[in-house]
Amino acid sequence: QVQLVESGGGLVQPGGSLRLSCAASGSITSINAMGWYRQVSGRARELVASISSGGSTNYADSVKGRFTISRDNAKNMQYLQMNSLKPEDTAVYYCNARPAIYSWGQGTQVTVSS
């Protein structure tokens, strides 16, 4: 069972940037697709970006052109570069496979506010 630990969140002003990291306790090489999800309190968790083992990426319309997902199989890491952040990006961000077959980590809080 792979365990996932997210980091890199924080408080940032609108228009700012953050880079989230996800460390996996085991190899992610065999995981076909990985993803970043986010959840606002009281709302369902949503997928914002995914990346296949071959590097193909998909993004939710709300983040397209602003977020970039990447993965480093050799380091068992996944990343989410977030630029031009908006207040509506405020959420707890999680990483997981796609579909989300592993237990959820604690996530990392991203708050976009002036």
> For the segment 10-48, what is each residue's pLDDT rounded down to a tens digit?
999 999 999 999 999 878 777 889 999 999 999 999 999
> For the segment 61-113, what is each residue's pLDDT rounded down to a tens digit?
999 999 999 999 899 999 999 999 999 999 999 999 999 999 999 999 999 99
**Structure tokens, 11:** 């408080």
3-state SS of the chain? CCCEEEECCEEECCCCCEEEEEEECCCCCCCCEEEEEEECCCCCCEEEEEEECCCCEEECCCCCCCEEEEEEHHHCEEEEEECCCCHHHCEEEEEEECCCCCCCCCCEEEEECC
